[in-house]
Each structure stands twice: as C-alpha cells, then as structure tokens.
Amino acid sequence: MVKFYEVPPLPELETTLVHLVLELLRSPVTYPQLVLSQRIDSRGEVAPDAVRITYHYVAALQAFGYQLQDYELDQALKWFLLPFPRDQINTLDPIEMNRLEALLLLCPHNADFTAPELMEYIHPRLECLIGQRTPGDDEFEGHFLIHGDSPAFDNLWALKTLAMASERRVLRPTLMSEDELKNALDRLIGDHYRDKDLALALQLRYQHFNRNLKRSQQKYLERLVKYGRSNLGVWDLRQNLMWLVHHMHRQELQIGDVAENRDAFRDMILSTCYVVENLMPMMYSYPHLLSGILQQSIELWWNVFQGEHAADRLHDLFPEPYDYLLILTRTIIAVCAYAGAYSEKPLSERILPHVYRMLSLQHDDRTGSRVQVNLQKALREWMPLELIGEPIDLKLGLSGANVVRIQPRLINPLNPDFPVQFAESLIVKYGPVDEIDLERQNYARLPQAIRSCFVSIPQESYIDAAEGRAYVIMADLVNYYTLYERLPTLNQIRDALLDELGPFLLRMHGGGEAQPSADRQALLWELYLLPMQEYVGRAFRLVRDHALLSQQEQKDAYNLHDELNRLLGALVQQQLRLGEFPTAYMHGDLHSRNIMLRSTSPWETNGNNQRLDFKLIDLEKFEIMGDAAVDAGQFLVDLELARSKMSDTDFAHAAIGQLMERLTLVYTQFGAARSDEMFAARVELARARALLRIAKGRTKYAETRLRESRKAPAIDAAHEVMDYARQALLHLRQVLAVLQEDL
C-alpha cells in the first residue's frame, strides 16, 4: 500500500507551486476575457472560451485545497449561475456541459446542505443531458451524444458528469438509478479512446466499484502504462515528436523547439497531466504497476519549469492566453494529485508557511516597457496616478493606433501608503500624433445629436515627442464587446441586432438633421476612384517586384491588373453620372471591429424597448460630407468575409446572412428616401473599394514576411491579394452594368 510519504518529493515543490497558484489567483485580473469574464448579452451569457477556462480555474483551486466557502470559489459559483432556458435549448452543447460540470464542482457533496436555488440550475441541465441518450436501435445503443463527432468521448463525458452528480447526491433516481450508472460505467472501457480518456474511463470504473477493476479491465491499465513507459513518461504522443521528449528527458528543451510544434506539444502535455490526475487514485490498489511510471511522468514535465520563474517559463512555452491558462490549471491539478496523494491535509495547508515567507521577501523590481513608461507619464500629468500590472492589449481594428486597458490607482501625497483605486479600468489609445489628433478633431466636429453614437474622446492627450506618439485617455466601455467578438454567438442577439443596428447607423449618417446634406462635386473621385487606383497599384506591385506566383499565375495577374485598370478608367469617364449625390455623415472605416455593443437593462431604455446599445470607435476617417454607401459597402464586405470562414451549419453563418439582408434593405430604403438613384451602384463600388483595400493590406503583410526571409507565408498572401482583386473586379463590372442600363 502506498502512503503519501512514500511518494518521492518533487524538487522545489513549495516554491514552484506557490508561484503557479499565485498566477492562477491573478488570472481574473490578468486575463479578464477568459476568467470570470464580463457578460456579453442580456441573458448573462459569456464567451465559450471563458466558460471552459473558468471551469478549469475552479478545478485547479479545488485541487490545491480551496473550499466552497472561500471567496474565490463563491465568486465563481455566482458567475456560473445562469438559468437554463428550456424553452430555447433542448440539448446540452459542450459549453453547457462545462457549465454543468462547474456547478457540480461547486455543489456540496451532501444535497441536504445544498441551497435549493442551486438545484434550479443543476436539475434542468441534468434532465436535458439524460434526454440526449440514444435510443435502443441506434448504432451507439444507450450512449450519450454531445458533439456528435466522437460518440465514445461524448458518452464518457456525460457519464463522468452524471457520476459527479451522483457523488453529490443530486442525481435523482427517476433520471438515472445508481445501478444504471454503475452498469454504464462498467461498459465504458475499450479500445476507442485517446490515452487521457482511457485513463478517465478506468478511474471512473475503479472509483464506483470499490476501488477494483476486472482482470479484463486491468489489461487496459497495463497497456496504458506500457505505452507511457515506451514514450519516457508521456501519453498521446505523435511519433514524429519523440525528439521533443528526449530533449525534456535531458532537460534541454528550448522554447524554439516548442514553437514549431506548439499545438501537438500542448496536447501531449495536457494528456499527460490528465493521465497522472486520473491514475493517481488507483496507486492505492496498483502501486507496483503505477508508482514508477507516474513518478517518471510528473518529474519529466516538472523539470521543464520548476522554480520561482515557473509561471514565466510556462508562458514562454505557451504565449496564447487560452493555451497558457489551460496548461497552468491542468498542471496544478496533476501536481496536486501526485504530491498530495493520500495526505491527511491539502497542499494549501502544508505550504502556507512558505507563502508567508515568500511574500515577506518579495520585492517588485520590474521595469516597465517604453509604452508603460509613457502611459505612466501621461497619467501623472493628468493626475498623480500609477498603473497596477501590465496594460492589456485590446487592439482589434485595422488602424495604426493601439488600444490598451489599464488599471490606475490614485496616490495620495499626504498618505502614500494607502492608494485609492478610483476606477476599475481606463482605456488608453496611443499612436502617431497626427492620427490621434485627427480622431480628437473629428470627435469635436460631431453634432451634439449624434455624439452618443460614438465613444467619447477627450481633447486632452500626452505626447511623447521622442517617439512621435500621442496618448489619449478615455473611459472604459464596461460590458461592451465589439461586434466582431460577438459574431460566433450572433444567434443569441440576432433579433435585436436585426431590428436595431440599421436604424442606429442611419441615425449616425443623418447627423440629426431633418434634410439630406447638399451635393458635393468630385466626392466620387476623392472617396472611391483615387483610393482604388492607389490600392490596385500597391497590390500588383507586390506581384511585379517579387517572384511569388507561378508563370501562369503571373500571366493571369497581369491580365487581372489590366482589366481592373480598364474598368477604373471607364468609371473615371462616367464619374459625373455617379458623382452627384446627397452627402451624409460617414464613419469611413465601418466594420465589425469598430462597432461596440452591449445588452441594455430595462431601466436604461425609458420604456422604448431598446435591447442593445451601440458605440462606434476609430474616427480617423470620419467625414461630415461623405457617402453612406462607403460605410454600407465596407461593412457588408466585412460581414461576408467573416461568414465565409464559418461552416454552413454554424448558426452564426445563417445569422450573419440575415443581418446582411436586413442591412441591404435598410440602406436601399435610405437611398430611396433621399432620391439617390445611384446609391445601390455606389454600394457595389464601395464593396470593390473595401476588397482592394484589404488586398493592399495583405501586400504589407507579405512584404514584412519577405524581409524576415519567410517566403512561404508571403506566397500565401500573394494568392490572397489576387483573390480579393478578382472579387473586386466582379463588383466593378456590376457598377458598369448599371451605368450602361441607365444610358
């Protein structure tokens, strides 16, 4: 029998684990978009990735020893409490499964002490899950389906969740009896799993059958152990990456080794952590089989990052926030499962003295980046402020400026030991002085009637003369998300968006005026023809100056260039017929990244039933005397490109199509109301303009890759440039066809 003290200790366990857990505790502030994130609609829904990561955050805190009554878990419970809309959803998708698992983790093990309100969130989801069991004549008889892509994993996931519910005594016998559950768990083990899933299946069966496996099931355990030994302590290894494991074994793993194989390396580490977590409880019954391989496995990964810089090391290996938090949480869980096995008290209590010792010696001697120094100077000239933590990059748009979220605190000169955090966060936009100044000037020109359509931009700013950058400080739009961020879950706000976005944009175009603005000559040339000629020249210069296309593709590109120039020349000749139209207020860079929205509360709307509130950002290209067709065409192209990246079966794909249809109708009616006969033709022209502008942007990307001696991505970008140019050509032909019909 293996006791805790017989498990070989991990070197620098206390130091390493404390730093990892402190990083985990900071994650709601450091990664607010992924851990306990803000709601994104009126129902209280959040982004799918946030549900997944916050579930792992809860599991890691519990593994370390946090109790349900502790503040962090209590806050997480409140975050996960979202009613299940039975009238809208009849199946549990993966996100709802994550939410159900989290609620069960945060549920006391004795249902007699569980608040009845919590059951109102758990029971409807359990009932729905039970309803997803396949009928008897199905190929997967008696199985549960969630994704549909992997019936074996779906079934395992569902039974794991039901087992959690059974342990907490919240699984009603009318839904599934204990005997039914045990029979299903007994049939789980087979050849159809990945290593991590087989380990879970074995652990579930072992746990619910008095810590015992049948002989036939033990063979699967032996096979899993044999596989781990042959791979030096890892599971779900791709054969071509064995060299990475050898580097880990020799403690020679470099960040560059991982960079080229990051997804495969991440999956291998996650699987290994899951296997360790699930097999450790079985050490009690199978010590001779498991002790050596689990020690080898955890030490192999541990030696990669151990020490006081463990969190930094993990972040270097996995720079993407989602990957980093996933690895961080599952590593903590696996380490706690190994180091805390059969201990009389949780690791959190054992290493508490080390926490106090570390905090007493901790000094913050980090020096800020150039950007952070400038941000601090800007704040201090405004008020005596300093920053908490690092700025969070929020750049989503296509302009040259940057946008960051900062957390300021006010320093009281009379009592500097007690700073005051007077605002949760602020937004700072910084970039070239002329761009920032232009945006501030454009905001100042806005009529009062439509200022509420835009994010407020103060006139005060700080200028770093050495770098030629300006910094402007703005209020944070709490609970707002860009439309681009909402596109994957667009179906949830579809009806409100269809009804309200179009009227909002028309209000902006009208500027609060009752009558259309006067005609302005030469506007077509300034807004369309001149920029398009520039975009075409820049795009095809890439093809001309660099050998990125095959001989036939090069020939096709020259023909395409000639045809675009011919059509643009024809439009120049007929610009007088297109060029006289009523002007409108124009955003000038309208796309889904520059439209922010949030769900409103009933008390905010003054009884007008408004469900969404919108704000426009990025005003560098704003025009008082512009053309609404420019915004319409660019926005429709942006939506079409976003839709093209989705599957036809994706609910968001259909919702985006419906939004495009509604916007087309709204803008058609807008043109008709202003007697603007060529409005629809200019929308087509604006679509071509937008596509050529995107093509020009891809040339910049390709040229940067070429300077880095990375020809392959430059070749891909050159093909994209040609694709966008061909699409633009089709829209230009439609414009000329309309003009010919009008003769």
- My answer on whether 353 and 382 are in the same domain is no
- My answer on whether 76 and 128 are in the same domain is yes
- My answer on whether 406 and 469 are in the same domain is yes
How many distinct structural domains can be found in the chain? 3
Instruction: Give 355 or 414, the one with higher predicted confidence.
Output: 355
Domain assignment of residue 693, yes or no: yes
Strands, E, within 126-241: which ranges? Answer: none
577 Cβ contact list (under 8 Å, min separation 6): 678, 739, 742
CB 716 within 8 A of CB 666: no
Q: Which two tokens stand for residue 325?
A: 């938090």
pLDDT at site 429: 84
pLDDT band at 83 (very low <50, low <70, confident <90, very high): confident
**Which residues partner with 406 through β-bridges?**
426
pLDDT at site 651: 85
* Chain segment 427-445, per-residue pLDDT in tens: 888 888 878 888 888 888 8
- My answer on whether 521 and 470 are in the same domain is no
Residue located via tokens 């610009």: 575
For residue 351, pLDDT over 50 is answered with: yes
Q: Which two tokens stand for residue 22?
A: 């402190």
- My answer on whether 308 and 381 are in the same domain is no
Average pLDDT for 170-180: 89
Lowest-confidence segment of 31-40, 274-283, 374-383, 698-707 by average pLDDT:
374-383
- My answer on whether 376 and 330 are in the same domain is no
- My answer on whether 415 and 384 are in the same domain is yes
pLDDT at site 354: 66
User: Do you know the residue count of the chain?
Assistant: 743
For residue 364, pLDDT over 50 is answered with: no
* Chain segment 301-320, per-residue pLDDT in tens: 999 999 988 999 999 899 88
CB 354 within 8 A of CB 14: yes
Residue 592 vs residues 454, 631, 635, 695: alpha-carbon distances, Å: 14, 11, 7, 18
CB 122 within 8 A of CB 165: yes
Most trustworthy range by pLDDT among 99-113, 460-474, 683-697: 683-697
Lowest-confidence segment of 308-322, 449-463, 654-668 by average pLDDT:
449-463
HSE-up (13 A, CA, CB side) for residue 733: 8
Domain assignment of residue 452, yes or no: yes
Domain assignment of residue 96, yes or no: yes
239 Cβ contact list (under 8 Å, min separation 6): none
For residue 137, pLDDT over 60 is answered with: no
Strands, E, within 433-468: which ranges? Answer: 462-464
pLDDT band at 138 (very low <50, low <70, confident <90, very high): very low
For residue 322, pLDDT over 70 is answered with: yes
Most trustworthy range by pLDDT among 221-225, 378-382, 384-388, 397-401: 221-225
pLDDT at site 3: 44
Domain assignment of residue 629, yes or no: no
For residue 398, pLDDT over 70 is answered with: no
Domain assignment of residue 421, yes or no: yes
For residue 198, pLDDT over 90 is answered with: yes
pLDDT band at 743 (very low <50, low <70, confident <90, very high): low
Determine the Cα–Cα distance for residues 628 and 585; give it in Å rounded to an integer. 7
Domain assignment of residue 512, yes or no: no
Instruction: Give 378 or 496, the one with higher predicted confidence.
Output: 496
Residue 375 belongs to domain with CATH number? 3.30.200
Select from 421, 451, 475 the last residue of a domain.
475
H-only helix segments in 479-602: 483-486, 494-510, 523-524, 530-545, 551-573, 575-579
- My answer on whether 274 and 352 are in the same domain is yes
pLDDT at site 448: 81
Residue 167 vs residues 213, 524, 551, 688, 711: alpha-carbon distances, Å: 19, 70, 67, 61, 57
Domain assignment of residue 634, yes or no: no
Domain assignment of residue 664, yes or no: no
Select from 424, 454, 475 the last residue of a domain.
475
Average pLDDT for 718-739: 94
Rounded percentage of the chain residues whose pLDDT exceeds 70: 84
Residue 532 vs residues 103, 624, 685, 689, 727: alpha-carbon distances, Å: 54, 21, 10, 6, 14
| Coil, helix or strand at residue 131 | coil
Q: Which two tokens stand for residue 3?
A: 């006791």
pLDDT at site 158: 93
- Residue 111 is given by DSSP the state G
Q: Which two tokens stand for residue 678?
A: 């060529």
Domain range for 397 is 371-475
Determine the Cα–Cα distance for residues 134 and 141; give it in Å rounded to an integer. 6
Give the number of other CB atoms < 10 A from CB of residue 69: 8
Determine the Cα–Cα distance for residues 476 and 18; give it in Å rounded to an integer. 33
Lowest-confidence segment of 254-258, 329-333, 529-533 by average pLDDT:
254-258
402 Cβ contact list (under 8 Å, min separation 6): 371, 393, 395, 429, 430, 431
For residue 471, pLDDT over 60 is answered with: yes
- My answer on whether 324 and 384 are in the same domain is no
Determine the Cα–Cα distance for residues 66 and 85; give it in Å rounded to an integer. 31
- My answer on whether 150 and 275 are in the same domain is yes
Lowest-confidence segment of 11-15, 350-354, 409-413, 436-440 by average pLDDT:
409-413
pLDDT band at 99 (very low <50, low <70, confident <90, very high): very high
pLDDT band at 1 (very low <50, low <70, confident <90, very high): very low
H-only helix segments in 280-320: 287-305, 310-317
Select from 359, 382, 406 the last residue of a domain.
359
Lowest-confidence segment of 23-37, 460-474, 612-626 by average pLDDT:
460-474
Give the number of other CB atoms < 10 A from CB of residue 405: 17
Residue 62 belongs to domain with CATH number? 1.50.10
Lowest-confidence segment of 151-155, 375-379, 715-719 by average pLDDT:
375-379
Average pLDDT for 215-221: 93
pLDDT band at 2 (very low <50, low <70, confident <90, very high): very low
pLDDT band at 597 (very low <50, low <70, confident <90, very high): very high
Q: Which two tokens stand for residue 609?
A: 């039933």
- My answer on whether 246 and 328 are in the same domain is yes
| Coil, helix or strand at residue 591 | coil
- My answer on whether 268 and 148 are in the same domain is yes
